[in-house]
Structures are given as structure tokens and as C-alpha cells.
Amino acid sequence: YMGVSSLQQVQAGLVDGGLPASTPVAMIENASLPQQRECRSNLGAMCEDATGFRLKSPAILVIGEVAAQAVTQLLSRSA
């Protein structure tokens, strides 16, 4: 779990470290609960998108190509 309030620091650190702004990001609020919500974005826009989505803690931040895949795609690979 990550603090939603630290998204800007996470974003800046990853971009400063060389990760492209186009890197896929998934922000998952209340993961595994009935009220789960998911916001998909990219590293460059994740803070703005999280604000527009009104993302709240607790949330998990998934960064990388796996964040671009739909849950159904991931489940079908494990079958």
C-alpha cells in the first residue's frame, strides 16, 4: 500500500531516475474489496489523473507494462 499523498514524490523520483513518462500506471483503491476502484494512466499524467479520479487511500500503485494489461488478460494466462 502506498500513500496517495506521496504520488508526486513517487512520480518525480521515477522520472528523475529515467523511467519514461509514457510508462503505464495502475492505481488501485481498496484492492480486493467490493468497493475496489481502478484508475489507469501513465507516469507523466498519474498525479493529474489521480486527482480527477479522486483517488483515496488505501491504494496500490502498479508501475510498468503489467499495469497496461486488463485483469482478464492476466487471469487467462494463469489458467
CATH of residue 38's domain is 3.30.950.10
Asked whether the CA dihedral 68, 70, 71, 72 is positive or negative, the reply is negative
- Report the domain count for the chain: 1
**pTM summary value:** 0.83
| pLDDT over 60 (residue 55) | yes
| pLDDT over 80 (residue 48) | yes
Domain of 18 in residue numbering reads as: 4-78
71 CB-near residues (< 8 Å, 6+ apart):
none
pLDDT for 78: 54
